Amino acid sequence: MVAQTLEIKSSSASMWGTTTGIRTLPTVSKYIDTSTCIGCKACEAACQEWNDLKRVPTAQDGSYQTLPALDAEFWNLIKFREQDTADGLAWLMRKDQCMHCAEPGCLAACPAPGAIVQYANGIVDVNPEACIGCGYCATGCPFEVPKFHAKTGKMAKCTLCVDRVEVGLEPACIKACPTGCLNFGTKDDMVALGNLRVKQLKDSGFKDAALYDPPGVGGTSVVTVLKFNKPEWYALPADPHVPIGVRVWKQILRPVGVIAAFLSIFAVFGHYTKYGPKEVVDVEEKSHE
Amino acid sequence: MSSSVAETPIVVARHRENVIVEGEIIRHRRASRLIHWSVAFTFFLALITGMPIWTPIFRWMAALVGGLEVARIIHPYAGVLFFLVSVLQFFHWLGDMHFRADERGSWRPSKLMAYMRYEDTAPEGGKYNPGQKVFFWAVTLGALALLVSGVVMWFPLRFPPIVRELAILLHDITFICFFIGIVFHIYLGTAAEPGTFRSMIRGTVSRPWARLHHPGWLKEIDNKE
């Protein structure tokens, strides 16, 4: 079910969403400051609780990370990385979840009308009622976020707690964070907060601190403060884009293919009009008898 | 050979082809026709379940099978079935589909266009003309490409993203070519060439039909009789 009180800006496999343009809603965003995250995983627990997700058995892969990757029943994962830097070892933690891109690749790739929607406030949501579980969204996503749920046969991911946000509450992960490294508000406010924090970090000696809000996907509704401007150290793509294959497929191949299909039908009608049927002539046979 | 069933064309057409019975020439025996229609049926099942997933323009096709979710479930199985019967079809017809020495280069678009203009430039040929052989090989390769790319798209999360992207593009391009090919195949087999459709239903054609479309084949049969 999609959030009922929010207008839909764009909808998968549809010409347009349901926005009227009468009401405007500011884009919302999460704010994640990796420099003050202590890896307590309160956000993971809060996410599981609020979204009524099952307890997923943890997997030990040599780090403190709960699971190797996001899961259809685990939408919020702190990624732990040990990284050699110029100033010695850095223990990096980043809260990973759906990035809620302004130009979502999942939505572009989705073939089911209304299965992935982007609300007027920028939240990207999966609508299980319309989802057909084909997994194309996973191919469209540059962050490897949407996961297939084997039991429901649907894709699942972080909703940015749209059911909380639409009634004026902050997302569950934000509410649970004990250090204030997570915040929630309008995109403009979160970017301002991020830039302020980046400046603080730079002033404290982290010369290449940066705010991660990748322009390749139109910016994201999750802005992340990185102490080191090396997104890959945090298991983030350096310059994410909707995959070229998905864009060629949807923007070129599909319209060209539809036109070619109809043209071939017109062509045979045209042929019949011009040349008509190749009639069997019985002359020789009759002279035979 | 004595039999309780009269040796009418339709009876003989169950098991034998390339023979003349009561003035009718048997072109496709029952096995050939069953294979052809199995391929056609599974192809159209895959088509009406695949095209609504391709673009919402064809979403109405999903209603024919009960909705897009159902289409998504049927499509891969219909596709696998289509491939299996295509393999059967390949081996069934392979013997007749080698290009003869005088048919080399007849796959060229200019030659195919000349055929469509009813210009009689093609060599006399055998049971199948070069255009049919081109179609046979294209369908075989197409079925293989659709299967390989389709399996990747069926289990997307088992393959790396670049493989998935390439599979999607291959599946789309192959299908578009397939669609155009099938439109012409159906047209040539029905409206454009009267008497042809009967060879895939009843299994038989008339002598004048054979003389017009496959004179070399008619000579082979006459020489044999």
Residue of A nearest to B155 (CA): A135
B57 Cβ under 8 Å from any chain A Cβ: yes
Helix axes B130-154, B161-189, angle to 10 degrees: 150
pLDDT digits (tens, 9 = 90+) for B128-140: 998 999 999 999 9
Contacts made by residues B129-136, CB under 8 angstroms, sequence distance 24+: B129/B213, B129/B214, B130/B99, B130/B103, B130/B106, B131/B106, B132/B97, B133/B97, B133/B98, B133/B99, B133/B103, B133/B107, B134/B106, B134/B107, B135/B181, B135/B185, B136/B93, B136/B97
Give the tokens for residue A221: 């509704």
pLDDT given for residue B16 in this prediction: 93
Contacts of A134 (CB under 8 A, 6+ apart): A111, A112, B53, B72, B153, B156
Query: Residue B175: what are its φ and ψ, rounded to 5°?
Result: -65, -40
pLDDT given for residue A22 in this prediction: 82
Query: Which among A257, A268, A282 is the nearest to B172, CB-wise?
Result: A257
Other beta carbons within 10 Å of A67? 17
pLDDT given for residue B3 in this prediction: 54
Tell me the pairing of strands A116-119 and A124-126: antiparallel
- Cα–Cα dist A175/A169, whole Å: 9
> Which one of A154, A242, A278 would you mutate to disrupt binding with B, by most B Cβ within 10 Å of its Cβ?
A278
H/E run at residue A85: strand A77-85
> Which one of B117, B169, B185 would you mutate to disrupt binding with A, by most A Cβ within 10 Å of its Cβ?
B169
Measure A119 CA to nearest chain B CA, in Å. 21
> Which one of B112, B212, B214, B222 would you mutate to disrupt binding with A, by most A Cβ within 10 Å of its Cβ?
B212
Q: State the ipTM, two decimals.
A: 0.90
Residues in chain B, how many?
A: 225
Give the tokens for residue B180: 């155009």
pLDDT given for residue A188 in this prediction: 98
User: In this structure, are residues A225 and A209 in contact, taking their beta carbons and an 8 Å threshold?
Assistant: yes
- Cα–Cα dist A42/B196, whole Å: 72
Residue of B nearest to A275 (CA): B117
Ranges of residues in chain A whose predicted pLDDT is under 70: 283-289
- Cα–Cα dist B218/B127, whole Å: 8
pLDDT given for residue B107 in this prediction: 79
A272/B192 touch (CB, cutoff 8 Å), yes or no? yes
Ranges of residues in chain B whose predicted pLDDT is under 70: 1-4, 121
Other beta carbons within 10 Å of A270? 11
- Cα–Cα dist A264/B180, whole Å: 6
B59 Cβ under 8 Å from any chain A Cβ: yes
